[in-house]
C-alpha cells in the first residue's frame, strides 16, 4: 500500500440517466461511508447536477468525463470548466482511451484540457495506456513516455496537486482481462520514473497514479497492495453499488 492518499474513481461512461444516477448514488452512500480512499463518481454530463445533489453531505465527490480546453465560445458540443464548477463538480477525466480512439483526442488536446482543468481548480484524472499491439511489439515504454510527456507539457510542479494519472492498458479496458499485479506495478513504476524525469523524484513520489482496466472486487486487493498503485479508475464494476463499494473498501 502506498503512502499517497488512495483515490478510487468510478467511470460510468455513457450509462445512467438522472433517475439511474440518483438511485445508484443513494445505494452507494451507506456502503462507502467508511472508505479509506477518496471516492469519486464520474458521471455523464446530463447527470452531473443530480449526482452533486445526491452526494451532498457524503464522502463521494463528483467528476465529469471530459472538459473543454477553452473558457467559452464557439465549441459546439463542449462543456467548460466554469460550467462544471458552477455545478460543484470537482474532478474531470481527461484523455480516456475511448476518447482517444473514437473521438480524436490527442496528446495535445489532452494537454490543453488538463491545463484548463488545473486553471479552474478541477482535479484532472489524466489517462494514458498502451494497446496490446504496442505492448507486444516492445513499443509500450515509448508510447507511455510520449503520452506522459505530451500530457504534462508546460505544466509546472506546483500544479501537480491538481492531477491524478490513470494508467489504463487499452487491452484491459472492458475486456475482463486485468493486468497482473506485477504488470500493473512495473508499468506504473515506469510511469512514475517518467514523471521523475520531468519533475524530479521527490515530486514524482507525491503524484497519485491509478490503475484502470477490469479492476473489480476480485483483483482490487492485490492491485492496491502494490507500492506504486494509488487507486483505480473503475468502469464496469462502478455501475452496481455493491460492486463499486467492494472496490472502494479494498483490503
Ligand atoms: P473497465 O473500464 O473497468 O470496465 O475495464 C475502466 C475504464 O475504462 O476506465
Q: What is the CATH number of the domain that holds 33?
A: 3.20.20.70
pLDDT given at position 2: 62
In a domain, 1, yes or no: no
In a domain, 29, yes or no: yes
CA–CA separation, 48 vs 54, rounded Å? 10
pLDDT given at position 225: 97
- Determine contact, residues 237/24, Cβ cutoff 8 Å: no
60 beta partners: 39
Cell numbers at 3, concatenated: 503512502
Residue 177 near ligand 1, beta carbon < 6 Å: no
What parts of the chain have a pLDDT lower than 50? none
pTM of the model as a whole: 0.98
Residue 219 near ligand 1, beta carbon < 6 Å: no
User: Which of 236, 243, 244 to probe ligand 1 with, by most ligand atoms within 8 A of CB?
Assistant: 236
Cell numbers at 87, concatenated: 455545478
In a domain, 2, yes or no: no
* Tally of domains within the chain: 1
In a domain, 193, yes or no: yes
Task: List the alpha helices (DSSP H) in the chain.
Answer: 18-32, 48-55, 81-87, 97-102, 107-119, 132-136, 140-152, 181-199, 201-204, 220-224, 241-248
Q: Which residues of 66-95 are buried (b: 16+ CB within 10 A; e: fewer)?
A: bbbbeeeeeeeeebbbebbeebebbbbbbb
Could you tell me the residue range of the domain that residue 85 belongs to?
7-248
In a domain, 68, yes or no: yes
124: closest CA among 184, 77, 84? 84
In a domain, 176, yes or no: yes
In a domain, 115, yes or no: yes
Amino acid at each position: 500500500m502506498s503512502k499517497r492518499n488512495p483515490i478510487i474513481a468510478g467511470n460510468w461512461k455513457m450509462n445512467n440517466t438522472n433517475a439511474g444516477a440518483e438511485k445508484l448514488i443513494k445505494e452507494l452512500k451507506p456502503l462507502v461511508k467508511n472508505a479509506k480512499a477518496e471516492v469519486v463518481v464520474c458521471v455523464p454530463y446530463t447527470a452531473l447536477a443530480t449526482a452533486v445533489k445526491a452526494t451532498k453531505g457524503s464522502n463521494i465527490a463528483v467528476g465529469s468525463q471530459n472538459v473543454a480546453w477553452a473558457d467559452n465560445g464557439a465549441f459546439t458540443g463542449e462543456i467548460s470548466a466554469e460550467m462544471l464548477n458552477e455545478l460543484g463538480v470537482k474532478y474531470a477525466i481527461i484523455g480516456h482511451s475511448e476518447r482517444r480512439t473514437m473521438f480524436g483526442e490527442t496528446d495535445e488536446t489532452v494537454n490543453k484540457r488538463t491545463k484548463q482543468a488545473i486553471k479552474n481548480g478541477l482535479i484532472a484524472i489524466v489517462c494514458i495506456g498502451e494497446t496490446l499491439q504496442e505492448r507486444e511489439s516492445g513499443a509500450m515504454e515509448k508510447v507511455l513516455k510520449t503520452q506522459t510527456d505530451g500530457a504534462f507539457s508546460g505544466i509546472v510542479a506546483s500544479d501537480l496537486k491538481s492531477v491524478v494519472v490513470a494508467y489504463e492498458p487499452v487491452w484491459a479496458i472492458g475486456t475482463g482481462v486485468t493486468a497482473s499485479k506485477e504488470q500493473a506495478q512495473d508499468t506504473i513504476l515506469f510511469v512514475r520514473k517518467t514523471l521523475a524525469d520531468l519533475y524530479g523524484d521527490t515530486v514524482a513520489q507525491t503524484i497519485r497514479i491509478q490503475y484502470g482496466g477490469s479492476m473489480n472486487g476480485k483483483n482490487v486487493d492485490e492491485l492496491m497492495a502494490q507500492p506504486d498503485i494509488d487507486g483505480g479508475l473503475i468502469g464496469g464494476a462502478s455501475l452496481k453499488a455493491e460492486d463499486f463499494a467492494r472496490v472502494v473498501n479494498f483490503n
